[in-house]
Amino acid sequence: MVGKPTHVTNSIRQLRFAANEMTQADLAERVGVTRQTIIAIEQGRYSPSLEMAFQIARAFGVPLDDVFQYPETDH
Amino acid sequence: MTVSERSVWVQLFVMPLVAVGYFSVVLSRAADESVAQISWVVPMIWSIGIVVAGIIAGTIASAITSAIAATARGEEPELDEGDQRDKEIERLGNRKAQFFTGIGTIAVIVLCMFRVDPFWIASAMFLAGILGGVHGAIAKLVAYRRGF
Amino acid sequence: MGNDDAIKEEVSFTESVQYAGLAFGPLAILAYLGIVLTRVFTDDVSVTKVAWQGPMLLVVAIGGGLYGIGYGIARLVHKGRVDDARDKEIERYAQSINGGLVGLTVFVSIILLALNVEPFWVANNLFLGSWFASFVSTAGRVAAYREGIPS
């Protein structure tokens, strides 16, 4: 399987729409990355670093847990 | 210290020692024979073999002695192979080493263009490899101790 | 609608550089091989005696020069970020692929030297091997951009 099989999911798209319909480009600018990287994160093709994850949460003014979710697993 | 980190420390010592060994053997031969005659192949094979074997043996020895010392002190011996962090540091160090391999490759191609003796070419490549290895090992240890 | 999802996702600057590399890299190698093989036939010499040094330097100089100019222009024209953390991470991933293949090439070269072959083989092994490593790692970059870095 290609691509990081990360279990982390995110609500970035919903948060953007809720935040006055922030565009991907806007968010990218605030976080200091390219628009393509935001797209890749939203689509689960890229796992941001912890720092970047915090910066994204900060851009929305919400806690980390509101942006990124990790499933309850039994292992 | 994880076993991975021990291995890096061992590399840091083994590589320069073997390089010194190889060049002493081979350059002393150069003093006696013409360059084209020097049999460098056997020393090279031994050098590569000793580096590999030395790193494995040194790492095992280091792990065992520290485990014994820890048990003597009544502590848990630390024998973790290495985790995600160790893998990342390993990759970082190997990347940094490539700078020297790159220069070595170019140097070797240039030497080939001038039809220099295989002895010099192989020795140059060996030197580049050792320098890269040492540079990589130092980068890894800095990452272990100071973060990256 | 405040989302630009509807905009066709153009690729980032660094990613587009990779596509250019994949397209032009093989051209440079074909040019080199073309010149050398032509010389083998027209000069009627054995392969190892061919004057390969000139073509190699030429291809590297011209290829490298064109790449540099092209990249420089593209970079000046481009607005916005050139690379970010993800680009750097993908670059690191590609470097590890590249390093592995170059290491293999170097290993083969040492064996060739031990067998006392003509410098022609050693140099070409390194040249083509390095080029191949670069090509494979560039392909790896493209895969990483499109599907993510394999873990």
Return the percentage of chain A with pLDDT > 70, whole number: 91
Tokens of C21: 């590399």
What is the C-alpha to C-alpha distance for residues B55 and B12, in angstroms, rounded to an integer? Answer: 9
Give tens-digit pLDDT for B98-143.
999 899 999 999 999 888 888 889 999 999 999 999 999 999 999 9
What residue type is assigned to position B36 of the chain? A
> Model confidence over A25-38: pLDDT tens digits?
899 989 999 888 89
Q: Which residues contact B4 (CB under 8 A, 6 or more apart)?
A: B81, B82, B86, B89, B90
At C5, the pLDDT band (50, 70, 90 cuts) reads low
- How far is it, in rounded angstroms, from Cα A11 to Cα A69? 8
Interface contact C106-B118, CB threshold 8 A: no
* pLDDT tens digits, one per residue of C25-78: 898 999 999 988 888 888 777 777 788 888 899 898 998 898 889 889 888 888
Of C13, C85, C148, the CB nearest to A4: C148
d(CA B34, CA B29): 9
What residue ranges do the domains of chain C occupy?
2-147
- Evaluate whether chains A and B are touching (3 or more beta carbon pairs less than 8 Å apart): no
Q: 């050098």: which residue's tokens?
A: B47
Consecutive H or E run containing A9: strand A9-10
Could you give the angle at the alpha carbon of B60 between the alpha carbons of B59 and B61, nearest 5°? 90
Alpha carbon distance B108, B116 (integer Å): 9
CB-CB under 8 Å, C148 with A40: yes
Q: Which residue of B has its CA nearest to C114?
A: B41
| Cα three-residue angle C104-B127-C95, rounded to 5 degrees | 40
Q: What is the pTM of this model?
A: 0.81
Provide mean pLDDT across the span C1-6: 50
Chains in contact with C via at least 3 Cβ–Cβ pairs below 8 Å = A, B
Interface membership of B108 toward C (CB under 8 Å): yes
The partner residue sitting opposite B112, judged by closest CB among C103, C114, C122, is C122
Supply the DSSP symbol for C5: G
Is B102 in CB contact (< 8 Å) with chain C? yes
- In this predicted model, what pLDDT tens digit does every residue of B5-41 receive, in sequence order? 999 999 999 999 999 999 999 888 888 777 777 788 8
CA–CA separation, B8 and B29 (whole Å): 32
Q: How far is C143 from chain A (nearest CA, A)?
A: 8
Radius of gyration of chain A (CA): 12
Which chains, if any, share at least 3 CB pairs under 8 A with chain B? Answer: C
Rounded Cα–Cα distance for residues B105 and B118 (Å): 14
Task: Write down the pLDDT at residue B77.
Answer: 77
Which chain B positions have a beta carbon within 8 Å of C50's beta carbon?
Answer: none
Kindly list the residues from chain C whose CB atom is less than 8 angstroms away from the CB atom of residue A6: 151
Give me the residue from C3, C86, C148 closest to A16, CB to CB: C3
pLDDT band at A47 (very low <50, low <70, confident <90, very high): confident
- Any chain C CB within 8 A of the CB of B139? no
**Which of A21-25, B34-38, C21-25, C111-115 comes out lowest in average pLDDT?**
B34-38
Specify which residues A10 forms β-bridges with.
A68
Residue C108 touches partner A, C-beta closer than 8 Å:
no
Please give the mean pLDDT across all residues of chain C.
86
CA-nearest of C123, C138, C130 to C104 is C130
Predicted pLDDT of residue A1: 38
Instruction: Report the pLDDT value the prediction gives residue C1, as an integer from 0 to 100.
Output: 39
Burial A16-49 (b: 16+ CB within 10 A, else e): beeeeebbbebbbbebebbbbbbbbbbeebbbbe
Domain boundaries, chain B: 3-146
Q: Cα–Cα distance between B42 and B22 in angstroms, integer? A: 10
Q: How far apart are CA B107 and CA B25, in angstroms?
A: 23
| pLDDT tens figures, B56-114 | 999 999 999 988 988 888 887 777 777 888 888 888 898 999 999 899 999 999 999 88
- CA nearest to C70, candidates C31, C33, C10, C25: C25
Which stretches of chain C sit within 8 Å of chain B by CB?
53, 56, 92, 95-96, 98-99, 102-103, 105-106, 109-110, 113-114, 116, 119-120, 122-123, 126-127, 130
pLDDT category at C7 given cuts 50, 70, 90 is low
